[in-house]
Amino acid sequence: MGQYFLGVDIGSLTTKVVLVNTGSEMVARATGRSGYSGRTVAERLVTELLRERGMNKNEIAATVATGYGRVTFPADREVSEITCQARGIAHLFGDARTVIDIGGQDSKVIRLLPGGKVIDFAMNDKCAAGTGRFLEVMAQALELRVEDLGELAAVARKHCNISSFCTVFAESEVISHVSAGAPKADIVAGVCDAVAARVATMTSRTGLEPEVVFTGGVARNSGVVNALAKQLGCPLQVPGEPEITAALGAALFARGIIGD
């Protein structure tokens, strides 16, 4: 019987795979852009991951798929992204009671009980406001790389106001600030504030209880982390690899299929 368990998270922008052992320890992970076929990307990542470790598919005892594209991947079980996110975070942060996840195309606030059971959640998947896509559009308008936004926001002398939640209108506001001669750093700080404000609004629907963990690719943006912590009035815990926590949760569910 295989000794490893695979979690596959096929997101709208990024696909993540995680491998855990019988001790629920993460032993390998890989990520890639989902592109047209997240399933194809996931299969390639798994193949590369196994080859790098000198393993074969028979050593994988069970697989759980999650994310938007989970139904496309041949797995032993499909589990919702919210449930997998909760499982992964409970594994990493035992005292976590709120998870804020900002991915490429959606954002979520998840409330947890001890042990990672989900008691409530709120989700924005109807528009790009408060998502990684919002940041990408604003970065393009400013001719910047997304990964540079956090560092630039840190040197802002004042924060430009970006009041619109709509990505199109917010981009127009950014262009207006550029035309008015505002420093890029000040505009970027305003963009980070706008993302934080959109997500903070969602917490009014679920409540907010510490410890709060911030996940998803946007959690790598220190500008948004700082803006969100300020608006929520509490510190945020950020995993070392915030993009893969749902895939980790999926792998842990796969571990549970076989049992102890």
pTM to 2 decimal places: 0.89
Q: Looking at residues 244-259, what average pLDDT do you find?
A: 91
pLDDT in tens, 33-53: 888 898 999 999 999 999 999
CA dihedral 92, 93, 99, 103 (to 10 degrees): -30
Full strand arrangement of the beta sheet holding 107-112: 118-124, 107-112, 98-102, 212-215, 236-237
Beta bridge partners of 30: 17
Q: How confident is the model at residue 131 (pLDDT cuts 50, 70, 90)?
A: confident
The reply to whether 136 and 206 lie within a common domain is: yes
The reply to whether 121 and 86 lie within a common domain is: no
Q: Looking at residues 199-219, what average pLDDT do you find?
A: 91
Q: What SS3 state is found at 95?
A: coil
Residue 1, pLDDT above cutoff 70? no
Averaged pLDDT score across all residues of the chain: 91
Write the single-letter amino acid at 206.
T
Beta bridge partners of 29: 18
Q: How confident is the model at residue 90 (pLDDT cuts 50, 70, 90)?
A: very high
The reply to whether 170 and 78 lie within a common domain is: no
The reply to whether 102 and 4 lie within a common domain is: no
Helix (H) or strand (E) holding 47: helix 38-53
First to last CA, the chain: 13
Residue 135: DSSP 8-state: H
Residue 86, pLDDT above cutoff 70? yes
Q: Looking at residues 117-129, what average pLDDT do you find?
A: 82
Supply the range of the domain harboring residue 211: 97-238
Q: Are 96 and 211 in contact (CB under 8 A)?
A: yes
pLDDT of residue 28: 94
The reply to whether 194 and 233 lie within a common domain is: yes
The reply to whether 86 and 106 lie within a common domain is: no
pLDDT of residue 259: 58
pLDDT of residue 80: 94
Helices then strands, each counted (H, E), the chain:
8, 10
pLDDT in tens, 49-61: 999 999 988 999 9
Q: Are 36 and 55 in contact (CB under 8 A)?
A: no
The reply to whether 219 and 254 lie within a common domain is: no
Q: How confident is the model at residue 166 (pLDDT cuts 50, 70, 90)?
A: confident
CA angle 225, 227, 232 (to 5 degrees): 95
**Percent of the residues in the chain that have a pLDDT greater than 70, as a whole number:** 97
Q: Where are the beta strands (DSSP E) in 24-165?
A: 26-33, 60-66, 77-78, 98-102, 107-112, 118-124
The reply to whether 83 and 172 lie within a common domain is: no
Q: How far is CA 255 from the centre of its chain?
A: 22
pLDDT of residue 126: 66
The reply to whether 202 and 82 lie within a common domain is: no
CATH of the domain at 24: 3.30.420.40
Q: How far is CA 85 from the centre of its chain?
A: 9
Alpha helices in 69-183 (DSSP H): 81-92, 132-141, 149-153, 167-179
Return the higher-pLDDT residue of 110 and 106: 110
The reply to whether 253 and 208 lie within a common domain is: no
The reply to whether 8 and 125 lie within a common domain is: no
Q: Looking at residues 236-240, what average pLDDT do you find?
A: 96
The reply to whether 76 and 105 lie within a common domain is: no
Residue 114: C-alpha distances to residues 66, 91, 179, 236, 237 (Å): 22, 11, 50, 18, 17
- Tell me how many domains the chain contains: 2
Q: How confident is the model at residue 165 (pLDDT cuts 50, 70, 90)?
A: confident
Residue 188: C-alpha distances to residues 102, 162, 229, 242 (Å): 18, 10, 17, 22
Contacts of 32 (CB under 8 A, 6+ apart): 14, 15, 41, 44, 45
Nearest to 99 by CA among 197, 14, 208: 208
pLDDT in tens, 136-147: 888 989 999 988
